[in-house]
Amino acid sequence: MRTDNRLFRILHALLHMARDTRVYTSEELAKMLSTNAVIVRRTMASLREEGYVHSEKGHGGGWQLSCDLDKVTLLDIYQAVGKPTIFNIGVSDSQSDCMIEKVVNDSISEAMNEAESLILKKFGDTKLSKLGNKLDKLLPGNSSSSRHKR
């Protein structure tokens, strides 16, 4: 099973955009995020619809941040990118007639729902500026262009 890491990738891109206010092409972001430019364009388009980024077409065009990181939460971005699955585990067979499997599924589902609720609450409490502040403590200076590390 493959992990859905759209949220991580887009947060990565947004923090780069916040630290270096230049325009980024989809190709640059794709290379930075180890993904395809088509995926970047699709994901960034959903952020554009919510007003978090804007785009310029043509030569010299690309993507640029258009929001205040003090007003945007992790939950806002999570919702804008389509609420990707938080966990990659779940019930084995929701249609099973086995009572043991039903008990196991119910218990796991209950725990997963509680955990997801806590995570989403934390996302809602975390402004993107907090991520930027943590980064500032790790990296002196304001430009991320020469400090990109995976």
Residue 148: inside a domain: no
Residue 38: inside a domain: yes
In sequence order, what DSSP letters do the residues of 10-75 get, joined into one string? HHHHHHHHHHS-S-B-HHHHHHHHTS-HHHHHHHHHHHHHTTSEEEE-STT-EEEE-S-TTT-BHH
Residues 41-55 have pLDDT tens digits of 999 999 999 999 999
DSSP 5: -
pLDDT at 146: 41
Residue 144: inside a domain: no
CATH assignment at residue 67: 1.10.10.10
pTM (two decimals): 0.81
Residue 150: inside a domain: no
Mean confidence (pLDDT) of the chain:
87
Token couple for 40: 């970047």
Domain total of the chain: 1
pLDDT at 6: 84
Residue 102: inside a domain: yes
Bridge partners of 55? Answer: 63
Residue 47: inside a domain: yes
Residue 81: inside a domain: yes
What is the three-class DSSP state of 127? strand
Residues 90-136 have pLDDT tens digits of 777 667 788 898 888 888 889 999 999 999 999 999 999 999 999 88
Range of the domain at 73: 6-138
Report the b/e string of 111-140 with b at 16+ CB within 10 A.
Answer: eeeeeeeeebeebeeebbeebeeeeeeeee
Residue 103: inside a domain: yes
